[in-house]
Amino acid sequence: MSNDTTFKALVVEETSDGEFKKSIQERKVSDLPENDLLIEVHYSSLNFKDAMSATGNKRITKQYPHTPGIDAAGVVVSDKSGTFSAGQEVLVFGYDLGMDTAGGLGQIISIPADWAIECPKSLTLKEAMIYGTGGLTAALSVQKLEKMGAKPSDGPVAVTGASGGVGSISIAILSQLGYEVIAFSGKTEQSDYLKDLGASEVRHRDTINEIGSKPIGRELWANAIDTLGGDYLANLLKQTKAGGAVTSCGLAGGAEFSMTVMPFITRAVSLLGVDSVYIPLADKEAIWQRVATDMKLPNLENYGEEITLEQTPEYLDRFMASQTVGRYVVNVRG
């Protein structure tokens, strides 16, 4: 492959009036940053962060034109570091991919070799992208609860943003591991879908906030996985059983929250942060081994809708309008 080799990519450009325009364009390998590892991308996936990057969120992406895509699964073209050999199947999640480094929504990426891991043998590239960062974050969240001693017999686990990427895979993994799950969603019309994933009960997300400004409430769930932040996170903590824990990975419902310390000091409830982006590569490899074994979901194809690169502009807009359900896997070469 030469520097003049062309490939297709989603490109987001900032217009002179401050708008952000998305289109599929032809790029050259020479447009990519100089790095050791060159990968032919076969599949990527869509995440909330890609939608933020595609709409010009400068906390995610500072430089435009830009190709989003925080996930990539593909085949090694060349690796100057000697870590991988040509033809090897690899996965890339997070670090700077898709933020200020051209991402997986392009058919070729150029990245440092220490951002990639070998694709586990029991997963195809497509299956790995059905999980993607959303699934990886779900798996890390469940693992964090387990490390705090959570077990199915403790009682139900609440999951917020239930119809989203992290939420839907969290429900499925928890259910597979034997937990009872209460799914909180703004889309109660998706109740059947959420129950098919493994939720035993579906409630509207607004019901979490009915507790209002009370410092602490009834103990309604043993543990929780939160993707929303804001008041939802505060009010989940206030209604968690003594000794339980709540993981926090997202801010789809707000970045700030206000509460008292009462759930922490009277019920020993724990607040656990989850990051899937900058954790060490060894931790990413370890969680992937679980995703490929005891957390592997049966009939994986059911958890993700396959779309083409050409469809990504439309689907990224749907993310910002909260009109997406589950995971979206992008067939970048389809």
Q: How far is the CB of 1 from ligand NDP (least distance, A)?
A: 31
- Find out whether 193 and 163 touch, Cβ atoms under 8 Å: yes
Residue nearest to ligand NDP (CB): 164
Residue nearer to ligand NDP on the CB measure, 106 or 186: 186
Q: How far is the CB of 161 from ligand NDP (least distance, A)?
A: 3
Q: How far is the CB of 136 from ligand NDP (least distance, A)?
A: 7
The C-alpha angle with vertex 240 and arms to 234 and 243, in degrees rounded to 5, equals: 120
Residue 304: count of CB within 10 angstroms of its CB: 26
- Find out whether 120 and 289 touch, Cβ atoms under 8 Å: yes
Q: How far is the CB of 48 from ligand NDP (least distance, A)?
A: 3
Q: What are phi and psi of 64, to 5 degrees?
A: -125, 155
Residue nearer to ligand NDP on the CB measure, 110 or 239: 239
Residue nearer to ligand NDP on the CB measure, 39 or 162: 162
Walk across the sheet containing 201-204 and list its strands.
201-204, 181-185, 157-159, 223-226, 245-248, 270-273
Residue nearer to ligand NDP on the CB measure, 69 or 253: 253
DSSP letters of 274-301?
A: --SSSS-HHHHHHHHHHHTTTTPPTTGG
Q: How far is the CB of 284 from ligand NDP (least distance, A)?
A: 11
Binding site for ligand NDP (CB under 6 A): 47-49, 133-134, 137, 161-167, 185-187, 205, 227-228, 249-253, 274-277, 319, 322, 324
Residue nearer to ligand NDP on the CB measure, 49 or 144: 49
- Find out whether 69 and 103 touch, Cβ atoms under 8 Å: yes
